[in-house]
């Protein structure tokens, strides 16, 4: 099966750095996605990691350790607009099909 | 600016009524997904299609839900009869292929309330 765990809520201050963790258990690993979802809106793609290590994209970086079943999303220089839910997701099982299983999401509140 | 579109954006109906939700995937995308999101269950996959063929609908209650792709530009999700527990946001997403690393692009969702 595939269990995905993320913290439910986090708070941070504008300008700070925050790390959102995600742990997963999967019978066959095919990469890990991070999506951002603002309240009342659709999820939007942030990153995809399939190899170990850190991938940086501007203020957002995503890290993956396949041996530990662990990923994190790092948000730097936080802005108010970063207040949103952050969902990690893994493709289900193996077989080449992109059926994503989503975590429950981490609701991030950025305060002035 | 290519986007997934969904109609209606909001729907309020009474228990027992039929509900049809529509989705237009991004032109050229061959994989379409239907998700349901609630506070309790989060984002759940209901069904998905590749090249208009249903590949997996195991997440969908078969007795009342049905999903189809009449053509490459239209996907539909139907609930008949609807029940209050179906109240949720229903998202359609599309991807350029069904490969493992392929990004899914989500539509704005249909917010359904069944009274």
* SS (HEC) of B58-110: CCCCCCCEEEEEEECCEEEEEECCCCHHHCEEEEEEEECCCCCCCCCEECCCE
Q: What is the predicted pLDDT for the residue at B85? A: 95
Whether A92 has a pLDDT exceeding 80, the answer reads no
Q: What is the mean pLDDT of residues B29-58?
A: 91
Calculate the average pLDDT of chain B.
Answer: 93
CA angle A81, A45, B89 (to 5 degrees): 80
Q: What is the predicted pLDDT for the residue at A1? A: 47
Hey, is A103 helix, strand or coil?
coil
Chain A nearest-CA distance from B48, in A, is 8
Structure-token pair, residue A43: 């999820």
CA angle B62, B67, B69 (to 5 degrees): 155
Phi-psi region of B73 (alpha: psi -120 to 50; beta: other; left: phi over 0): alpha
- Cα dihedral across residues A8, B61, A96, B1: positive or negative: negative
Phi, psi of A45 (to 5 degrees): -65, 135
Q: What is the mean pLDDT of residues B50-71?
A: 90
Q: What is the predicted pLDDT for the residue at B98? A: 72
Task: Convert the pLDDT of each residue in B11-35 to its tens digit.
Answer: 999 999 999 999 999 999 999 999 9
Q: What is the predicted pLDDT for the residue at A95? A: 52
**B23 interaction partners in chain A (CB closer than 8 Å):** none
Using the beta-carbon criterion (under 8 Å), do B100 and A43 form an inter-chain contact? no
Interface test with A, best of B3, B44, B100 (most A CBs within 10 A): B100
Using the beta-carbon criterion (under 8 Å), do A42 and B103 form an inter-chain contact? no
Chain B nearest-CA distance from A52, in A, is 15
pLDDT-derived band at A39 (thresholds 50, 70, 90) equals very high
Q: What is the predicted pLDDT for the residue at A96? A: 52
Whether A97 has a pLDDT exceeding 90, the answer reads no
Q: What is the mean pLDDT of residues B67-84?
A: 96
- Maximal C-alpha separation, chain B: 40
**Dist. CA A104–CA A4, nearest whole Å:** 8
**A30 interaction partners in chain B (CB closer than 8 Å):** 100-101
Q: Which residue of B has its CA nearest to A105?
A: B42
């Amino acid at each position: 099966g595939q269990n995905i765990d993320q913290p439910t809520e986090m708070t941070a201050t504008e300008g700070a750095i925050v790390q959102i963790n995600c742990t997963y258990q999967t019978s066959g690993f095919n990469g890990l996605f991070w999506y951002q979802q603002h309240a009342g809106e659709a999820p939007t793609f942030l990153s995809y990691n399939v190899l170990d290590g850190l991938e940086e994209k501007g203020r957002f970086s995503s890290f993956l350790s396949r041996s530990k079943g662990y990923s994190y999303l790092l948000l730097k220089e936080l802005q108010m607009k970063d207040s949103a839910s952050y969902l990690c997701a893994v493709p289900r099982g193996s077989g080449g099909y992109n059926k994503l299983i989503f975590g429950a999401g981490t609701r991030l509140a950025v305060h002035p | 600016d290519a986007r997934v579109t969904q109609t209606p954006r909001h729907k309020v109906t009474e228990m027992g009524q039929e509900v049809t939700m529509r989705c237009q995937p991004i032109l050229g995308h061959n994989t379409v997904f239907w998700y349901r999101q609630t506070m309790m269950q989060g984002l759940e996959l209901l069904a998905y299609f590749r090249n208009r063929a249903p590949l997996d609908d195991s997440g969908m209650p078969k007795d009342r839900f049905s999903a189809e792709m009449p053509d490459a530009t239209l996907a539909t999700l139907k609930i008949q009869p609807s029940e209050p527990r179906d109240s949720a946001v229903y998202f359609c997403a599309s991807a350029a292929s069904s490969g493992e690393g392929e990004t899914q692009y989500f539509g704005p969702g249909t917010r359904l309330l069944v009274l």
